[in-house]
């Protein structure tokens, strides 16, 4: 593994295709200063999320796992002025930092942050009769991915795109004897997808400044 080279290549790609700006830099700097873990997506991954949401023509986006709002800002930038992004975060401190970051980035009016365990908030959204989302980004605790998928499907329609991050975990997902709860969570998620007739999906391995991992891309079909 050559993380140094992957990082160098990422820097080159980012400088050409996903240049940063004061809002994005500020979100990362203030998240770090507030002691949040630096487990946000990389800039070129953030730009990919923005592009996928734009390609979908998204007006309503659901994000599970806000952290300091870095990916939230990228995703919200894909929305029209009357769009909505609901993002779910367990930790009140993360949600507080994210609120400041998305407001400063100018996308605050589009973004609703709901604090609490994501599975509970998803059930509340379902009970509230929340309209279907066009694009869903799953990026919270890996143990919960299967539950988040099942609940997300109740907040989807045919054509909803779902992206789930960190599904390769340095290759550990291919280890049938793994005892790591996060790996087991992703294995359950991928096995569920194998039998899930309501979605068509794939997963792709990635390397870069964030290491060796990957994402799943799903299309809701019924």
Ligand X SMILES: C[S@@+](CC[C@H](N)C(=O)[O-])C[C@H]1O[C@@H](n2cnc3c(N)ncnc32)[C@H](O)[C@@H]1O
- Give the HSE-up count for residue 166: Cα atoms under 13 Å, Cβ half-sphere: 20
- The residue range among 10-18, 50-58, 136-144, 205-213 that interacts with ligand X, by the rule CB under 6 A, is 136-144
In the complex with ligand X, the residue whose CB is nearer, 185 or 201, is 185
Under rule CB under 6 A, which residues in 148-207 are in contact with ligand X? none
CA torsion, ordered 73, 218, 132, 122, to nearest 10 deg: -70
CB 199 → ligand X: shortest distance, Å?
Answer: 21
Q: Which of 43, 83, 144, 185 binds ligand X (CB under 6 A)?
A: 144
- Please tell me whether residue 65 binds ligand X under the rule CB under 6 A: yes
CB 38 → ligand X: shortest distance, Å?
Answer: 10
Pairwise CA distance, residues 48 & 87, whole Å: 18
Residues in binding contact with ligand X, number by CB under 6 A: 19
In the shown chain, the binding pattern of residues 14 to 43 toward ligand X, with x for contact by CB under 6 A and - for none, equals: -------------------------xxx--
User: Which two structure tokens, joined as six digits, stand for 82?
Assistant: 């009357």
In the complex with ligand X, the residue whose CB is nearer, 181 or 221, is 181
In the complex with ligand X, the residue whose CB is nearer, 19 or 158, is 19
- The residue range among 51-59, 63-71, 181-189, 200-208 that interacts with ligand X, by the rule CB under 6 A, is 63-71
Pairwise CA distance, residues 73 & 23, whole Å: 8
Under rule CB under 6 A, which residues in 82-121 are in contact with ligand X? 88-91, 94, 117-118
In the complex with ligand X, the residue whose CB is nearer, 41 or 183, is 41
Return residues touching ligand X (CB under 6 A).
39-41, 65-67, 70-71, 88-91, 94, 117-118, 139-141, 144
């Amino acid at each position: 593994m050559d993380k140094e080279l992957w990082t160098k290549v990422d820097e080159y790609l980012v400088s050409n295709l996903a240049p940063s700006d004061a809002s994005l830099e500020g979100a990362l700097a203030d998240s770090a200063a507030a002691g949040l873990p630096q487990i946000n997506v990389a800039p070129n991954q953030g730009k990919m999320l923005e592009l996928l949401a734009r390609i979908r023509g998204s007006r309503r986006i659901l994000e599970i796992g806000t952290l300091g709002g870095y990916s939230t800002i990228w995703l919200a930038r894909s929305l029209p002025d009357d769009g909505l992004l609901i993002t779910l975060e367990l930790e009140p401190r993360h949600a507080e930092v994210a609120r400041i970051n998305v407001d400063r980035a100018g996308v605050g009016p589009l973004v609703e942050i709901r604090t609490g365990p994501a599975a509970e908030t998803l059930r509340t959204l379902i009970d509230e009769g929340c309209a279907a989302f066009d694009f869903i980004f799953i990026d919270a605790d890996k143990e919960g991915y299967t539950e988040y998928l099942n609940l997300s499907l109740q907040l989807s329609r045919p054509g909803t795109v779902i992206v789930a991050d960190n599904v390769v975990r340095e290759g550990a997902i291919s280890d049938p004897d793994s005892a790591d709860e996060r790996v087991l969570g992703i294995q359950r998620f991928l096995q569920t997808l194998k039998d899930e007739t309501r979605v068509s999906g794939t997963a792709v391995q990635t390397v870069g400044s964030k290491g060796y991992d990957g994402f799943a891309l799903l299309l809701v079909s019924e």
